[in-house]
Amino acid sequence: MSVAVVSEKNPYEAAIENFDLAADALDLATDMRNMIKYPERVLSVVLPVRMDDGKVLRFDGYRVQHSTARGPAKGGIRFHPNVTVDEVKARAAWMTWKCAVVNIPFGGAKGGVTCHPEDMSQAELERLTRRYTHSILPLIGPAQDIPAPDVNTNPQVMAWIMDTYSMMKGYPVPGVVTGKPIGLGGSLGRKEATGHGVYYTLESTCSHLRIPIKGAKVVVQGFGNVGSAAAHMLSSHQARITAVAESTGSIYNKDGLDIPKLMRHKEKTGSVVGFAASEPITPSELLSMKCDVLIPAALENAIHGENAARVKARIIAEGANGPLTPEADRILEA
Amino acid sequence: MSVAVVSEKNPYEAAIENFDLAADALDLATDMRNMIKYPERVLSVVLPVRMDDGKVLRFDGYRVQHSTARGPAKGGIRFHPNVTVDEVKARAAWMTWKCAVVNIPFGGAKGGVTCHPEDMSQAELERLTRRYTHSILPLIGPAQDIPAPDVNTNPQVMAWIMDTYSMMKGYPVPGVVTGKPIGLGGSLGRKEATGHGVYYTLESTCSHLRIPIKGAKVVVQGFGNVGSAAAHMLSSHQARITAVAESTGSIYNKDGLDIPKLMRHKEKTGSVVGFAASEPITPSELLSMKCDVLIPAALENAIHGENAARVKARIIAEGANGPLTPEADRILEA
Amino acid sequence: MSVAVVSEKNPYEAAIENFDLAADALDLATDMRNMIKYPERVLSVVLPVRMDDGKVLRFDGYRVQHSTARGPAKGGIRFHPNVTVDEVKARAAWMTWKCAVVNIPFGGAKGGVTCHPEDMSQAELERLTRRYTHSILPLIGPAQDIPAPDVNTNPQVMAWIMDTYSMMKGYPVPGVVTGKPIGLGGSLGRKEATGHGVYYTLESTCSHLRIPIKGAKVVVQGFGNVGSAAAHMLSSHQARITAVAESTGSIYNKDGLDIPKLMRHKEKTGSVVGFAASEPITPSELLSMKCDVLIPAALENAIHGENAARVKARIIAEGANGPLTPEADRILEA
Amino acid sequence: MSVAVVSEKNPYEAAIENFDLAADALDLATDMRNMIKYPERVLSVVLPVRMDDGKVLRFDGYRVQHSTARGPAKGGIRFHPNVTVDEVKARAAWMTWKCAVVNIPFGGAKGGVTCHPEDMSQAELERLTRRYTHSILPLIGPAQDIPAPDVNTNPQVMAWIMDTYSMMKGYPVPGVVTGKPIGLGGSLGRKEATGHGVYYTLESTCSHLRIPIKGAKVVVQGFGNVGSAAAHMLSSHQARITAVAESTGSIYNKDGLDIPKLMRHKEKTGSVVGFAASEPITPSELLSMKCDVLIPAALENAIHGENAARVKARIIAEGANGPLTPEADRILEA
Amino acid sequence: MSVAVVSEKNPYEAAIENFDLAADALDLATDMRNMIKYPERVLSVVLPVRMDDGKVLRFDGYRVQHSTARGPAKGGIRFHPNVTVDEVKARAAWMTWKCAVVNIPFGGAKGGVTCHPEDMSQAELERLTRRYTHSILPLIGPAQDIPAPDVNTNPQVMAWIMDTYSMMKGYPVPGVVTGKPIGLGGSLGRKEATGHGVYYTLESTCSHLRIPIKGAKVVVQGFGNVGSAAAHMLSSHQARITAVAESTGSIYNKDGLDIPKLMRHKEKTGSVVGFAASEPITPSELLSMKCDVLIPAALENAIHGENAARVKARIIAEGANGPLTPEADRILEA
Amino acid sequence: MSVAVVSEKNPYEAAIENFDLAADALDLATDMRNMIKYPERVLSVVLPVRMDDGKVLRFDGYRVQHSTARGPAKGGIRFHPNVTVDEVKARAAWMTWKCAVVNIPFGGAKGGVTCHPEDMSQAELERLTRRYTHSILPLIGPAQDIPAPDVNTNPQVMAWIMDTYSMMKGYPVPGVVTGKPIGLGGSLGRKEATGHGVYYTLESTCSHLRIPIKGAKVVVQGFGNVGSAAAHMLSSHQARITAVAESTGSIYNKDGLDIPKLMRHKEKTGSVVGFAASEPITPSELLSMKCDVLIPAALENAIHGENAARVKARIIAEGANGPLTPEADRILEA
């Protein structure tokens, strides 16, 4: 699912606009806004990396610490061609607010490298990751700023970051990243944690709105860690997942897709496309399907000014970071 | 003298263009260019600072490390409304090349805060400086990156930086800045060093071109530390300083200005304007005066595509950082 | 309740006298006494602090580490006009012994600043606290010496200490103080912990002496964190709190005071005085009341040679640090 | 020469009184006085030390940092029965002022242990020194506070301090003390430096007062490092050293003592007493001798209210720290 | 029981041989073998230690880090005349594999000093331990390499190591060793942990082989921490411990020894020899006794090529490190 | 020139034997011998290194700190197939003694890796060097232990060591090695320093023995940095260098070789063999040539029990480390 069409607004401007809406609602003084609105530190680094063919290419990387007022900064590293400094700044701001809302003693940060990881070998990704880690090293640490996986980064990437950092210190520092491989000190259940969080939030909301989970019609946009784990939990509580969208294609089954089977299908083929008991559907059809719950679990700004009016879900359960633009918010609230 | 008119090109693009010219001349391989062309780290910080009236304003600050390949990074901190991230990146790159050309074991860095220091009280400047120092602290240090004064920063500002850094360490760390007050470990002769450097370079050039310093007609653009010290050395070797330009106005005396007296006049009045034995002149007239030596010692890009053709000096002795745009270079070489 | 009358003996001499009594009882060798009797380190600092009126006043501060033999030193910071180096040394020694008696792996320390905090603004207290923290900084740290609140210091003061220390390190160090605000990593239940400890100790003692808590007549001297939490626990177990003393006045109700209501009264008015269902009483009357339990929960040396003989309680449950002088001990034991 | 009789005033009070005299003369504002008058940190430590007979004795030690405003603190460690916290505070203040007067970038500190070093074995002194060093360790360091020898401490004691500090760091840190043995990085000429300084100051004064050094009659009180080196320089410039005082006795020769021979005599016998070409004299006679120059080079307060009036020297060249009490100053000025 | 006879192979060669067997079974690539087979670091230190008679003797000490690939290295310190560098290398390798097999995030290390601890006073052992700790200090630490007790080292030795390390750091670092005294932060149950582990493993095995623990005939070689705790657990589950061997002698009772009584006997007399309800037996007889379970819980290589064929136990439960040589393995498997 | 034939004694045993001879001569007490005779720390590391063909090979590396009693340890890193732990221990001991003899404040260390550097690519050498540096990192540092070049290591290898160490610290640490490239902070004149030292020593000796340098007949064994620089100095003082030996062959010219030309010949061809104005000679002939001065400047133990008797030089000027075995010493002295 492309984010290209949603570029009416850059993510940082959207985040700042959201901040102002919230600050207005709280009647927050200008002084205080000036203290907590903007990112404390934005570090841009240039990464010359040797490719497998011997050439040195240049990549741009970022680490943004939006706020450390409530504790060490915390936030994931994204490897994606759409990574820009403003995109990272927006995600860092969201991290500050997310940590504060659930009252955990962490501030907000995010990082990223502009690259096409799917075109790179493991060796190239390792060299890129190690170089990036070395460049942002003065800012990170278990008590300062703790990276985590994000889009296109995984436990292996975290292991490289941890190893690079640990070599600098001379001993293993597992606390410098979360999302490590279990064998290096990673947490059990981490992979499914976000998806399960979506489910538990949804369970509260449904109970509040008196919509039974059992039999509820659910559409899931994005079938990565978050979307698939949420779908799995929902289907095991007998919700009906009628449609699933992915960047490679979207599928539909009006009686509900068999999620465990779909997960195995994706594991084998790398995509949900071609799943036996399903028919193809366009992303646009999927978003405008009538359903009880729509779970946008892909990238930010997936629901925006141009498609928001077509959404027909009773509940939108946000599984991605900032999947609705402020404009979409206004349209949907109206 | 305003730099506003010279904005045909941002300084970073100009620096990169210069790099490419030099790299082409050296037939430098693409890989090597990718390794040394771009700044290693660009740190942007947001500085909420309490003003004397109790309000908190937001300032933007930067520290750019262009290269640490040859040693710790080194470069000044500028407080100026024209400070932008690209301007700082350009100045950092020039530092790398300047240190390398004279073969001292330092890399290049620069910093700056976008502000109007002339409208701020000492207390506000101190709070701004301390906050800025705290924000860039993970990147600086005697063995990592050593700030220095630049436009609108002085030994007092360096003392605040040193004190903020030292408080973090728990003991005095004079090595974290150069350009400190003498009493805190600063170097004797530092204030005049750049201007004297301009003189010694000029002496070599004049000797090479067989132009006697004695009696040479010199025009000086900018009468700060650099311009005044160069003028003083030249006049003590009996050169004739016929015109001096400053942002507050420019003056002229065809028989040569009495530089020691002019320096005392400026110390008293804050400007060269109104100096007894002189008449006013426009910046444009000054630049196009026929002379042996023109010393641009103000800001970067002072000589650019639109005024370069009017320059009638036999020698341009660069006292500022990057006072000629690449376009000016081309025009003057032609 | 003033400690002024009890100055027959300075607290440090009293502590040393207590030590010798205990050491005699244990037949402790002179060598061992010389090793554990005296404070390891006594740091006195002079604190010039700018007041809100612009003047710089001088304050005296102290941090005493009595013993680190059993682990990092631990103990509170007091802001009080009666703080003297000997008073702090005494309290530090008591901390060593308290930690050892309950077998937790900490040594003993205490700190304080001689000042009248009730006459100081929040801004003045903050500057005083930050200056004090900076001055004692080489001695404290999560693994060395961990301050905590004491008389007139509270979670806000701890937050300032933590922030000053953290700024020096460059990242948040919550472990440098206990008694922080919950939001910065403080412990739930800490406020009531000492008072609850008094209750649980009392429960054991009463059970041992076969005095039922239910219906027991209790007199509480001091109605701060400790006294009020102990009283609250006792009243919820149906003890009768018949009298409560505070520095602002003391009150009495022979049928027992309604403690939850009294706590709300104090929160509103800042004092127990004027509580509806009560009559005033002098401190001296209160101390000599016949009761099952007397809880001295104010300052040290509250029961001394001149008033000890008048105490008519069956149990004295010590809620303050060292509320009995050695002389009082002897009188009460006789 | 005993300092016992001079205890009309404790040294710290004398130092503070001197400060106030100077501050009054400078018309120094109260705020500034509050900032620079008092010692920043006074650390008192208790040192249990095992004696050669197996017993553990308790010693009191001190390290006072009077000011670090001008750089790392600097000052000697004294082992003497008269060491008290006030004596150390006074000497630390003098160090601040001495460093400032000669404009070297150091603040002032001093330390000491109350003990009778002449009754202790080398092994006992080593254990005492190591324990003391360990106790003051958080405050000292090459960039924080650098001890040096003082009365009864010597290069060997400095070597123990350096070794104790270095063991804590894991590698040699010669910069933590001055006055080390040459073989461990000590400075050549250090031993004689103070005495030579006395000579050079005297040379200026004599030239100013038109008193020829050659033939000048000089009385020296104290024949340690300072007094003997000053006497040696003076005698090699043909001054006549007619009397020398020491704690073990004083000697006199109206034609001048042969200083090189006297130095060898003292090296052999440990005292100036019994020197061939001399006759004994009482300390009181010595002080009241008519002479051109009197050099008090023993301990502080040697010339005080009760003996000042008897001094008949034209110049008093102070070779010790604070050898004149303020009262003596007043008497001598009158 | 002497290990002298088993020296057909040095322990390191045996460990490497075992590694190769396992690597062959896993079909491990040569590259990978080269990365994980050999010890990463072998530190040999020479320890001059002053004996109680004043003489300085030289001891050899070792610390070997076999692998830190899975986390900080972990392993005990042995004081024994048979300690050699190869013996320590073997034990370190076993630690790597043991930690990996039970999947805890630690690598493997071991240490040792070649000495006869039973002939040394406590003071000598303390000096030896402190010197050894100082020498290996750059390699150890809570995040790098954590020593523990092994043969002839105990909680007291760990306390000395912790204290030496902590003095170097300036504050207590309990995490630098495990096996500390409880009072310094040691773990409850640690002493019996290995023996209980032997029991629980045995319980699984017996259940698997359908051999009831109740009534099982057990022979225990070595009655230190491991052997006695395993025997105690087994006897409390009604197994019959028929024979116990120690270096001082071995005993036998066909109906089972009363283990709690035997433990008290050993505590009193220092040996199992002479226990009332038992008869003596030779080590050789003991090893060849018919039994259900044989627990070698003494030193490595206790069962080797020359005695393996005589073993008649149904289960060998290894309580020591590497008690079977590879040759013994082959013989017993056949 | 092969060292293979000289293995009658391993270098460490030879060093220890030399120590004992010197200690006997000094009548050194056993205690003191035990403190300074043996290496303080011997670190052996295993280095898995990836070769250019993708295979991982295992190398053995060593770093030995013989003594740090007089200051940080100092000594070179050798890459050579003959490197063994005993060879490194011997060279480290010699470093201690060499530094002590010339009274510079350094202790002695040495390091090495057993490898055939001439068969390895630059990339392989870089990976080996970086891995080795990482493995010995806890022991080295500007204040602890400072490596330097030795046989087969050069400024490039030092640059790799410095870079690996600096990356670990996060900033450049030029002080961690000597013998760096000039551009990274290396010292001018270092390359020739040892050879010039040989010359200056020889000059003193010749003057003492009244042998004129001019015309002296000199034989040089080893024509690397040391041998060639010594030869160059000697020839510029008109000595006659009649023979030069190298591992690739030896040459002879009875009238003296033209050293500057020979140096250019070697630079071009990599060997002295085939030099125009010379004839070949066997190593054995060379050693037994009659000459004034023989300079063994190759490897240790070059002159040993079997060839010493044939040496016919009047002076042996040792340019290598330990070029004579103790047996050779005895033979030559006789």
Residue E156 dihedral angles phi and psi, to the nearest 5°: -60, -45
Instruction: Give residue F7's pLDDT band: very low, low, confident or very high (50, 70, 90).
Output: very low
How many helices (H) and strands (E) would you count in chain B?
10, 11
**DSSP result, D200-230:** HHHHHHHHHHT--STT-EEEEE--SHHHHHH
Instruction: Give residue C9's pLDDT band: very low, low, confident or very high (50, 70, 90).
Output: low
Kindly list the residues from chain D whose CB atom is less than 8 angstroms away from the CB atom of residue B170: 144
Kindly list the residues from chain C whose CB atom is less than 8 angstroms away from the CB atom of residue E185: 71, 105
Residue C226 φ/ψ region, left for φ over 0, alpha for ψ in the -120 to 50 degree band, beta for the rest = alpha
Query: B74, B110, B191, B266: which is the annotated catalytic residue?
Result: B110
Tell me which chain A residue has its CA closest to the CA of residue E71: A172
CB within 8 Å: D48 and C30 = no
Which residue from A105, A141, A144 is facing C185, i.e. has the nearest CB? A105
Smallest CA–CA distance, residue B173 to chain D, in Å, is 8
Smallest CA–CA distance, residue B133 to chain C, in Å, is 12
F89 is an active site residue: no
For chain E, what is the mean pLDDT?
Answer: 91
Q: Which two tokens stand for residue F217?
A: 């007949």
* D72 SS3 class: coil
Smallest CA–CA distance, residue B162 to chain C, in Å, is 14
- Is residue B225 predicted with pLDDT exceeding 90? no
Amino acid at the residue D60? D
Kindly list the residues from chain A whose CB atom is less than 8 angstroms away from the CB atom of residue C174: 71, 105
First to last CA, chain F: 26
CB within 8 Å: A38 and B31 = no
Tell me which chain B residue has its CA closest to the CA of residue D72: B172
> How far is residue D112's CA from residue D151's CA, in Å, rounded to a whole number?
9
> How far is residue E245's CA from residue E224's CA, in Å, rounded to a whole number?
10
Partner B contacted by F172 (CB < 8 A):
yes
Q: What is the pLDDT of residue C1?
A: 29
Q: What is the pLDDT of residue A329?
A: 84
Partner E contacted by F135 (CB < 8 A):
yes
Give the number of A-B residue pairs with CB atoms closer than 8 Å.
58
| DSSP, res C6 | G
> How far is residue E164's CA from residue C282's CA, in Å, rounded to a whole number?
57
Partner A contacted by E70 (CB < 8 A):
yes
pTM: 0.83
Give B16-35 pLDDT, tens digit per residue: 998 999 999 999 999 889 88
- Is residue A327 predicted with pLDDT exceeding 80? yes
Give B183-222 pLDDT, tens digit per residue: 888 999 888 999 999 999 999 999 999 999 999 999 999 9
> How far is residue B257's CA from residue F323's CA, in Å, rounded to a whole number?
73
CB within 8 Å: D167 and E134 = yes
Looking at per-residue pLDDT, the higher value among C323 and E115 belongs to E115
Residue D119 dihedral angles phi and psi, to the nearest 5°: -95, 5
List per-residue pLDDT tens for chain D, 334 residues long.
223 333 456 889 988 998 999 999 999 999 889 888 999 999 999 999 999 998 999 999 999 999 998 899 999 999 999 999 999 999 999 999 999 988 888 999 999 999 999 999 999 999 999 999 999 999 999 999 999 999 899 999 999 999 999 988 888 899 999 999 988 889 998 889 999 999 999 999 999 999 999 999 999 999 998 999 999 999 999 999 999 999 889 999 999 999 999 999 999 999 999 999 899 999 889 999 999 999 999 888 889 988 999 999 999 999 987 788 888 888 888 7
CB within 8 Å: E167 and D168 = yes
SS3 letters across chain F: CCCHHHCCCCHHHHHHHHHHHHHHHHCCCHHHHHHHCCCCEEEEEEEEEECCCCCEEEEEEEEEEEECCCCCEEEEEEECCCCCHHHHHHHHHHHHHHHHHCCCCCEEEEEEEECCHHHCCHHHHHHHHHHHHHHHCCCCECCCEEEEECCCCCHHHHHHHHHHHHHHHCCCCHHHCCCCCHHHCCCCCHHHHHHHHHHHHHHHHHHHHCCCCCCCEEEEECCCHHHHHHHHHHHHCCCEEEEEEECCEEEECCCCCCHHHHHHHHHHHCCCCCCCCCEEECHHHHHCCEEEEEEECCCCCCECCCCHHHCEEEEECCCCCCCECHHHHHHHHC
Give F187-204 pLDDT, tens digit per residue: 988 889 999 999 999 999
Q: What is the pLDDT of residue F45?
A: 97
Give the pairing of strands B217-221 and B290-296.
parallel
**Averaged pLDDT, B274-293:** 92
Q: Which two tokens stand for residue A113?
A: 């490298």
> How far is residue C74's CA from residue C55's CA, in Å, rounded to a whole number?
34
Other chains touching A, judged by 3 or more CB pairs under 8 Å:
B, C, E, F
> How far is residue A260's CA from residue D275's CA, in Å, rounded to a whole number?
106
- What domains can be seen in chain E, in order of their start residue? 38-182 (3.40.50.10860), 191-333 (3.40.50.720)
Tell me which chain D residue has its CA closest to the CA of residue E135: D170
Kindly list the residues from chain E whose CB atom is less than 8 angstroms away from the CB atom of residue F135: 40-41
Q: What is the pLDDT of residue D118?
A: 94
Partner A contacted by F168 (CB < 8 A):
yes
Partner B contacted by F31 (CB < 8 A):
no
Looking at per-residue pLDDT, the higher value among F95 and A277 belongs to F95
* Signed CA dihedral, B188, B193, B195, B196: sign only: positive
Partner F contacted by A168 (CB < 8 A):
yes
> How far is residue F14's CA from residue F327's CA, in Å, rounded to a whole number?
9
Residue E254 dihedral angles phi and psi, to the nearest 5°: -65, -25
By C-alpha distance, which of A326, A118, A317 is closest to A226?
A: A317
Partner D contacted by F70 (CB < 8 A):
yes
Give the residues across from E243 on adjacent strands.
E219, E252
Give C39-95 pLDDT, tens digit per residue: 999 999 999 999 999 899 999 999 999 999 889 999 999 999 999 999 999 999 999
Kindly list the residues from chain F whose CB atom is less than 8 angstroms away from the CB atom of residue D172: 68, 71-72, 143
Smallest CA–CA distance, residue C314 to chain E, in Å, is 35
Partner E contacted by F274 (CB < 8 A):
no
First to last CA, chain C: 26
> How far is residue B89's CA from residue D211's CA, in Å, rounded to a whole number?
66
Instruction: Give residue F1's pLDDT band: very low, low, confident or very high (50, 70, 90).
Output: very low
Q: What is the pLDDT of residue D102?
A: 87
Which residue from E42, E46, E55 is facing F38, i.e. has the nearest CB? E46
Partner B contacted by F188 (CB < 8 A):
no
Task: Examine chains F and C and say if they touch (3+ CB pairs below 8 A).
Answer: no
E150 contacts: CB under 8 Å, gap ≥ 6: E75, E76, E77, E78, E91, E110, E111, E112
**Percent over 90 (pLDDT), chain A:** 76
By C-alpha distance, which of F233, F247, F232, F226 is closest to F295?
A: F226
Q: Which two tokens stand for residue B245?
A: 């330009």
Chosen for mutation from F58, F132, F136 (greatest number of chain E CBs closer than 10 Å) is F58
Instruction: Give residue B9's pLDDT band: very low, low, confident or very high (50, 70, 90).
Output: low
Task: Examine chains B and E and say if they touch (3+ CB pairs below 8 A).
Answer: no
Which residue from B137, B138, B170 is facing C138, i.e. has the nearest CB? B170
Partner D contacted by B138 (CB < 8 A):
no
Choose the weakest-confidence range: A305-309, D228-232, F82-86.
Answer: A305-309
Q: What is the pLDDT of residue D333?
A: 81
Amino acid at the residue F267? E
D223 contacts: CB under 8 Å, gap ≥ 6: D231, D244, D245, D246, D262, D266, D272, D297
Partner C contacted by E57 (CB < 8 A):
no
Give the residues across from E67 on adjacent strands.
E108
Task: Examine chains D and B and say if they touch (3+ CB pairs below 8 A).
Answer: yes
Kindly list the residues from chain E whose CB atom is less than 8 angstroms away from the CB atom of residue D165: none
Q: What is the four-CA torsion angle of C112, C115, C120, C122, rounded to 10 degrees? A: -10
ipTM of the complex: 0.81
Smallest CA–CA distance, residue F173 to chain B, in Å, is 8
Q: What is the pLDDT of residue F9?
A: 67
Tell me which chain F residue has its CA closest to the CA of residue E57: F34
Query: D110, D191, D217, D266: which is the annotated catalytic residue?
Result: D110
Chosen for mutation from A144, A168, A169, A171 (greatest number of chain F CBs closer than 10 Å) is A168
Chosen for mutation from F36, F37, F44 (greatest number of chain E CBs closer than 10 Å) is F44
Q: What is the pLDDT of residue D9?
A: 67
Query: F9, F74, F98, F110: which is the annotated catalytic residue?
Result: F110
CB within 8 Å: E137 and D170 = yes
Q: Which amino acids of E are annotated catalytic?
A: 110
How many angstroms separate the Cα of D138 from the Cα of each of C41, D63, D144, D172?
11, 11, 10, 17
For chain B, what is the mean pLDDT?
Answer: 91
Partner B contacted by D71 (CB < 8 A):
yes
Residue D292 dihedral angles phi and psi, to the nearest 5°: -80, -40
E53 contacts: CB under 8 Å, gap ≥ 6: none
Amino acid at the residue D28? L
- Is residue F3 predicted with pLDDT exceeding 60? no
Q: In chain A, which among 198-237 make CB contacts under 8 A with chain B?
A: none
